Amino acid sequence: MSDSSFSSTAAFIWSVADLLRGDYKQSDYGKVILPFTLLRRLECVLEPTRDKVREKHEQIKDSSIPAHDFLIREAEQSFYNTSKLTLAALGQNDIGENLNKYVDSFSKDARDVFDRFKFRDQIDFLADKNLLYEIVGKFKSIDLHPETIDNYHMGLVFEELIRRFAEASNETAGEHFTPRDIVRLTTSLVLMPDDEAISVPGAIRTIYDPTAGTGGFLSTATEYVHELNSEAVIRVFGQELNDESYAICKADMLIKGQGVSNIKQGNTLSHDQLYGEKFDYMLSNPPFGVEWKKVQNEIKQEHVEKGHDGRFGPGLPRVSDGSLLFLLHLISKMHDSRDGCSRIGIILNGSPLFTGSAGSGESEIRRYVLERDLLETIVALPTDMFYNTGIATYIWILSNNKSEERKGKVQLVNATDLFAKMRKSLGSKRNYLTEEHIEEITRTVGNFAQSESCKIFNNNSFGYRRITVERPLQLNFIINEEKINELTQVSAWGKLKGAIQENIVNALEKLTGQEYNSREKFMTAFEQARENEKLSAAQLKFVWSNLGERCEDADICRDKKGKIEADSELRDNENVPLTEEIKEYFAREVKPHVSQAWIDEKKKDDKDGLIGIVGYEIPFNRHFYKYTPPRSLQEIDRDLDQVTKDILKLLKEVHS
């Protein structure tokens, strides 16, 4: 089936929504169109064996024999329908009642699909508005037989309908499915190294998507494996939050004969319904930049109570973006490397590459991934590739059994220039990947060779130690009426007792006109000028910290033990690459510029106990930056002259 045929099928189904105008809000059209599309598809799939299923059902319906297995065998599918009714045979007078009976005659898993859509409510409402007969009439004429439209293109039809309905209701279509070109590329990158193993007779593989959507990743991965080995056994697993997307995914799995009991509904992060399961291949496109505030109690509890025995032991990202939580979730589903290899492909925005400083949740997650040598490749995609956003996106490929040449290394591939323009935009999607682009990217990743678009780094190249650089406190004191007045305006001044305030002011007035290039000398003079009222250490600090001005020529302040005091306002941090020795870096990069600076050696990393907090970031764009020289002033002047002439010409035309 051509892409234009699938588009025309989707367009025809979409046009049925015209019948709903007035009685339905535009945002609710999908509640009718999507389940009817599914119903017609299931009906067309079952048509060749429908009579055999009915006959077998009539034979055993009154017996004690469990009917399900027999009827599945007759249907040659993982679902069936025992009714003699079809969309074309519902009649008119009792059409609502008949349609409900027809849907109730599906096997349990198929009925659940329609329950998720609350299809009974729609049937009753359509019947009440005298629309049901017309809607059924439209759908019974649509040819959705597998011989006419295969599973792949049927998936595209569903996705196009969801995208249109989501766009019409101002929802986020991209939360429900991923464009098929991106799905194909990600699947190819994850499965490519195992092509030979998959081709072996009797190969069995498991595939998992924790954000299953409408099942695009699961379907495409299955197709990929079967292209290599049609006899391979593929078991798919998934979980999806959105009811309608889950219903479509489940229906798709039913049609393809997959075990639908492995497709779960619910929030993956707070309620993992495949707990303890491990998988060979994992694919996911979690929502970009979506907060996890609603489930933070459950996630924090798991983080604290289970630590590394749970999913989120390495750390928690900021609550405004849960992308890295899905990454940790997938890593927890990897086989033990001694038991087999697991590979992950996850699509993320740019934030997980660099957000968060050393010691933050994001940095600790990157540290966990890199120090365990799990990250294999990151591919930068072109912008404008997704239906709901035009932002930069990246495919992360992870493996717990890297080839020898890849061990201890990370490959960065820049594919931002590989795309074709769509003839017509679909939401925010203006670009797409051709098969040639997918092959080129996959080949670049597979070759694992340095080039203009491919860079290879050691894992520790992305790590650094954040050291704290201190500088001495140096204060100069000039005592005058203005400075005394400023001191009395400080908010903390009001907290002092009246006698103490008077004592301080009297002492300072005696020092008016004096200048001290040393805090020690100033405090000695202040003590001598002060009367007997005793001041606490905090009160004395209040005086000198508000009167003193920083001055590089002033004497260095020292504590009672003679130790140099650090100036908190001049405190700074330096990120020292893990590939460098801290003291050598400090001597080269800091000392020549700030001769009196020193490293605070008390600031150590919690995990290795060494000086400096370890952090990791992946500055992808920096490694592929290309300098573009600015335009010459002469060229800019020529353009400005031309624009001025054009404006003057337009003004003359207006006035003439």
CATH 1.10.10 for domain 3-168:
no
Kindly give, in sequence order, each residue whose CB lies less than 8 Å from that of residue 101, ignoring residues fewer than 6 positions away: 83, 85
pLDDT of residue 337 exceeding 80: no
Q: Please report the pLDDT score of residue 169 as a whole number.
A: 55
Alpha helices in 95-174 (DSSP H): 95-104, 108-116, 119-128, 132-140, 151-168
pLDDT of residue 626: 81
How many Å apart are CA 491 and CA 14, to the nearest integer?
67
Question: What is the reported pLDDT for 633?
Answer: 87
pLDDT digits (tens, 9 = 90+) for 231-256: 888 899 999 998 888 888 888 887 77
Segment 70-95, tens digit of pLDDT: 998 999 988 999 999 999 999 988 99
Looking at residue 462, what is its pLDDT?
A: 97
Q: Which pLDDT value is given to residue 304? A: 95
Q: CB neighbours of 202 closer than 8 A, spacing ≥ 6? A: 231, 233
- Please determine, for residue 258, whether its predicted confidence score (pLDDT) is greater than 80: no
Judge whether 618 and 379 are in contact, CB under 8 Å: no
Angle, vertex CA 89, rays to CA 85 and CA 90, nearest 5: 80
Query: Superfamily assignment of 173-291+318-462 in CATH?
Result: Vaccinia Virus protein VP39 (3.40.50.150)
**For 363-378, what is the mean pLDDT?**
98
Q: Are 159 and 14 in contact (CB under 8 A)?
A: no
Residue 524, token pair as written in the block? 């000695």
Q: How far apart are the first and last CA of the chain?
A: 60
- Helix (H) or strand (E) segment spanning residue 454: strand 454-458
pLDDT tens track for 65-76: 888 889 989 999
| Residue 3: per-residue pLDDT | 54
What 3-state DSSP class applies to 106? Answer: strand
| Digit-coded pLDDT (tens) for 570-583 | 999 999 999 999 99
C-alpha dihedral sign at 485, 489, 493, 497: positive
Q: Round to whole Å and give the CA distance between 89 and 80.
A: 18
Query: HSE (CB half, 13 Å, CA atoms) of 347?
Result: 30
The pLDDT of residue 97: 95
Going by their DSSP bridges, the two strands 263-265 and 233-240 should be labelled as parallel
CA–CA distances in Å: residue 257 to residues 124, 191, 210, 219, 236:
31, 22, 20, 11, 11
What three-state secondary structure class fits 656? coil
Q: Using CB atoms within 10 A of its CB, is residue 125 exposed (0-12), middle (13-18) or buried (19+)?
A: middle
pLDDT at 17: 87
Dump pLDDT digits (tens) for 99-118. 999 999 999 989 999 998 89
- In this prediction, residues 206-213 reach a mean pLDDT of 94
Reduce the DSSP state of residue 588 to 3 states and report it: helix
Domain limits of the chain?
Answer: 3-168, 173-291+318-462, 475-550
pLDDT beyond 80 at 656: no
Q: Is the pLDDT of residue 173 over 50?
A: no
The residue-averaged pLDDT of 96-100 equals 95
- Tell me what pLDDT residue 367 has: 98
| Per-residue confidence (pLDDT) for residue 166, from 0 to 100 | 64
Of the pLDDT bands very low, low, confident and very high (cuts 50, 70, 90), residue 167 is low
Burial class (CB in 10 A: 0-12, 13-18, 19+), 76: middle
Mean per-residue pLDDT over the chain, rounded: 90
Look at residue 499 and give its three-state secondary structure: helix
Query: In whole angstroms, what is the distance from residue 402 CA to residue 370 CA?
Result: 13
Contact 109, 126 (CB under 8 A): no
Q: What is the pLDDT of residue 29?
A: 87
pLDDT at 174: 45
Single pTM value for the model: 0.84
Please state which of the ranges 154-163, 319-328, 453-462, 605-614 shows the lowest mean pLDDT. Answer: 154-163
